[in-house]
Amino acid sequence: MSSMLKRGVFSWFAFWVVLAGVGLYSLLPLRKAIRFGIDLVGGTYITLEVQTDKAVEAELLSQMQAMPDKLQEANIESPTNSVLEKNEIVLTFPSVQAAQNAASVLVGAKPTADQMRQGAIASQIGLVVAKSEGNVLRLRLTDAAIKYISRDAVERNIEVLHNRLNPLSVSEITVAAQREKNIIVELPDVEDPQQAKNMIGKSALLELKLVEKVAQSEDDILYELDGELESDQEILPSKEVGRDGKPLRYFLVSKYANITGKDLKNAKPTLDNQIMQPVVSFEFTSDGGDRFYELTSQNIGKNLAIILDGVVISAPTINGPLRTSGQIQGGFTSDSARELSLLLRSGAFVAPVTFEEERLIGPALGAESIRKGLISCLIGLSLLFIFSLFYYKVAGFFAFLALIYNLFLVLIGLSLLGSTLTLPGIAGMVLTIGMAIDASILIYERIKEELVAGVPFREALNKGFAGAMTVILDANITTFIVGIVLYKFGAGPIKGFAVTMMLGIVSTLITGLFFLRSLFNFVLDNFNVQKIKI
Q: What is the pLDDT along the chain (534 residues), one digit of tens a residue?
A: 455 545 545 566 777 778 777 777 777 765 566 777 777 777 788 889 988 888 888 788 877 877 887 888 888 888 888 888 878 888 888 888 888 888 888 885 554 444 444 444 444 457 777 777 888 888 888 888 888 888 888 888 888 887 777 654 445 577 888 888 899 888 777 666 676 677 676 667 778 899 999 999 888 898 888 888 887 788 999 888 888 888 889 999 988 787 887 777 778 888 877 777 888 887 888 888 888 888 888 988 888 888 888 888 888 888 888 777 777 776 778 877 777 777 777 666 777 888 888 877 766 656 676 677 678 778 877 888 888 888 888 888 998 888 888 888 888 888 888 777 777 877 787 777 777 888 888 899 999 998 888 888 889 888 988 888 888 888 888 889 988 998 888 766 777 788 888 998 999 888 888 898 888 888 888 877 778 878
Q: SS3 letters for 277-305? A: EEEEEEEECHHHHHHHHHHHHCCCCCEEE
Element (H, E) at 481: helix 457-489
Is residue 515 within 8 A of residue 19, CB to CB? The reply is no
Q: What is the pLDDT of residue 496?
A: 78
CA dist 369 and 377 (Å) reads 12
Q: What is the dihedral of CA 518, 522, 523, 526, to 10 degrees?
A: 170
DSSP type of residue 238: B
The gap from C-alpha 112 to its chain's centroid, in whole angstroms, comes to 30
- Residue-range domains of the chain with CATH: 3-40+363-526 (1.20.1640.10)
Checking 108-116 for CB contacts under 8 A at 24+ apart, the result is 109/70, 111/63, 111/66, 112/66, 112/69, 112/70, 114/66, 115/62, 115/66
CA angle 336, 338, 344 (to 5 degrees): 100
Tell which phi-psi region holds residue 330, choosing left (phi > 0), alpha (psi between -120 and 50) or beta. alpha
pLDDT for the residue numbered 252: 93
- Per-residue pLDDT tens digits for 59-80: 888 778 778 878 888 888 888 8
Rounded to whole angstroms, what are the CA distances from 74 to 68, 95, 460? 10, 16, 85
Does residue 163 sit in helix, strand or coil? Answer: helix
459 burial class (0-12, 13-18, 19+ CB within 10 angstroms)? exposed
pTM over 0.85: no
Q: Return the amino acid letter for 196.
A: A
Q: For residues 186 and 176, give the distance between their C-alpha atoms in angstroms, rounded to a whole number.
A: 9
What pLDDT was estimated at residue 486? Answer: 86
Residue 194: partners with Cβ closer than 8 Å, 6 or more residues away: none
Q: How far apart are CA 360 and CA 353, in angstroms?
A: 20
- Side-chain half-sphere exposure of 227, counting CA atoms within 13 A: 0
Decide: helix, strand or coil at residue 208.
strand
Residue 356's H or E segment, with its range, is strand 353-361
Per-residue pLDDT of 323-341, as tens digits, reads: 777 777 767 788 777 777 7
Q: Pick the closest to residue 498 from 421, 435, 416 (CA basis).
A: 421
3-class secondary structure, 475: helix
Give the number of other CB atoms < 10 A from CB of residue 243: 5
Helices (H) and strands (E) in the chain, counts: 17, 19
- Look at residue 11 in the predicted model and tell me its pLDDT: 62
